[in-house]
Amino acid sequence: MPFRYPVSLEVEGKNCIVIGGGTIATHKTRELVDAGAMPTVIAEGTTPELDAMEKEGLIRLERRPYAPGDLRGAFLAIGATDDPEVHALIYAEATRENVLVNCVDDVQHCDFAAPSVVRRGDLMVTISTGGKAPALAKRLRKDLSERFGGEYGELVRLLGEAREEVIPTRREIDFDTWAARWERALDDENELIGLVRGGEGERVKEIVRAHVRDEHIERVRRIDGEARPGGRGWVALVGAGPGDPSLITVRGKELLRAADVVVHDRLVHPDLIKDKTAVYAGKHGGAESTPQEEINALLVRLARKGRNVVRLKGGDPFVFGRGAEEAQALASAGIDFEVVPAPTSAIAALAYAGIPVTDRRVASSFAVVTGHSAQAEPDWRALVSAVDTIVVLMGMRRLEEIVARLIEGGADAEAAASVVENGTLTSQRVVVAPLGELAAEVRSAGLASPAVIVFGRAVELREEIAWFDATEQHAQAAPESGAKTSL
């Protein structure tokens, strides 16, 4: 009898009968009690454990042999005697009376098999070999009990609670969608189990609810503020914008408000961090700077201490900001993080200078490249031939060389070029000059870092659309040879 159809029975409040009082009968009785039944045990001799269970009121004990008629009105019967003839009688009566029966180790006299069980709260993994390989069943049971620890019981409990809460969603979507969302919710089973172990059951429910309701706000919420039990902090890599503190994004501002600590670089406007615990961790053109590994380690350390950290960077965190390296370090340390982009100086400083990086009439492409000597040298010739607007960051130290390279690469020395210093700040200064004269003009005006260098026909549009520094522009006499400096 292979017992092909698996079920789990509810036995609480049902009339269950165990016939026999030896070790195996005791074991079967214990299983029924654990499952919520209050069985009747019929046996002449009993183990001390059965006696104790009777005393505790967990079972009823009838000290006598089995007699036909004992199974009348029963739901389930276990025959655990070592007498095959008694089993045959029990089986015959059970069949007549429609009682589910299992005579232990006697498959001829069974309606059902009692599989090996790994039980973790409401989670039940059962193993059956159809009575053919009990030793294998035992071995698998051992493997499975190692694989599924006690936290799985807790996970099942939490999922049950989350399920109650999201049941209204079930009515709004079809079954396949519902099932697919649940599947997605459990995709990261290890993360959920980790949270259970860390005592963050509420977080588990939150993640599951968000998946099932299809709210993609999980990360946002994760980072949104309230201190979390379990003490894990988050890190947000936030772009501060190009200079003017009002150019940070709404999201960046929100996270700044929620942060305990701000780790910032040199380009960040002091107004953004004035009420915060701020740690400077910057880089600047060579001189004293914090090694990147130390910054990464600092962010990880702070988050592990439960701090909510904003890593605030000038411009956009992923534009020459080493944001990706920090994100990688956080990801590999398992820290929750979010990336908040912002206007990059490469575009915004130019916009404040009245120079659009693209314009459908004169510039259909732009490139942003580094002028820093420590980084791989851009292919200037290729840039000049392929790109309409070339924007160079970190290029002020090598301005002369960059200009020379552009001209060597085929750029027209007479065409307009520009340098924008302190873009978007009230201290913004702009020099426009023919490329061949740009370096000299910029040096004589004393422009320094931070500044962007820009070459391309879009620069010509500044003449008409400069808006930010337009009032000051006239204060400065236009220098000879067509160069203009506005202070």
Residue ranges binding ligand SAH (CB under 6 A): 242-243, 267, 313-316, 319-321, 344-346, 349, 393-394, 420, 422-425, 449-452
Taking the C-alpha atoms of residue 468 and residue 421, their distance in angstroms, rounded to an integer, is 13
Minimum gap (Å) between residue 403 Cβ and ligand SAH: 15
CB 146 within 8 A of CB 182: no
Amino acid identity of residue 377, one-letter, is: E
CB closer to ligand SAH, 201 vs 314: 314
Write out the two tokens for 447: 């422009």
Minimum gap (Å) between residue 294 Cβ and ligand SAH: 19
- In sequence order, what DSSP letters do the residues of 225-253 get, joined into one string? SSPPTT---EEEEEE-BSS-GGGS-HHHH
CB 441 within 8 A of CB 479: yes
CB closer to ligand SAH, 11 vs 355: 355
Minimum gap (Å) between residue 161 Cβ and ligand SAH: 44
CB 11 within 8 A of CB 75: yes
Catalytic residues: 265, 283
Minimum gap (Å) between residue 449 Cβ and ligand SAH: 5
CB closer to ligand SAH, 233 vs 423: 423
Taking the C-alpha atoms of residue 466 and residue 479, their distance in angstroms, rounded to an integer, is 18
- In sequence order, what DSSP letters do the residues of 175-204 get, joined into one string? HHHHHHHHHHHTTTHHHHHHHHHTT-HHHH
CB 231 within 8 A of CB 247: no
CB closer to ligand SAH, 90 vs 458: 458
CB 330 within 8 A of CB 403: no
Taking the C-alpha atoms of residue 55 and residue 361, their distance in angstroms, rounded to an integer, is 96
Minimum gap (Å) between residue 172 Cβ and ligand SAH: 42
Minimum gap (Å) between residue 351 Cβ and ligand SAH: 11
- For 171-178, the CB contacts below 8 A with 24+ separation are 178/212
CB closer to ligand SAH, 159 vs 350: 350
For residues 273-302, one letter each, b for 16 or more C-beta atoms within 10 angstroms of the residue's C-beta and e for the rest, the string is: beebebbebbbeeeeeeeeeeebbebbbeb
Helix 151-170 with 201-212: angle, nearest 10 deg: 30
CB 371 within 8 A of CB 349: no
Minimum gap (Å) between residue 346 Cβ and ligand SAH: 6
Write out the two tokens for 244: 């003017």
Q: Nearest to ligand SAH by Cβ — which residue?
A: 315
The closest of 14, 23, 57 to 43, measured between CA atoms, is 23
DSSP-derived secondary structure letter, 396? G
CB closer to ligand SAH, 79 vs 371: 371
Write out the two tokens for 406: 């552009």
Containing H/E element for 338? strand 336-340
**Residues near 314 by Cβ (< 8 Å), separated by ≥ 6?**
239, 240, 241, 242, 243, 265, 266, 267, 268, 321, 345, 450
User: In the chain, count of helices (H) and strands (E)?
Assistant: 18, 18
Minimum gap (Å) between residue 343 Cβ and ligand SAH: 8
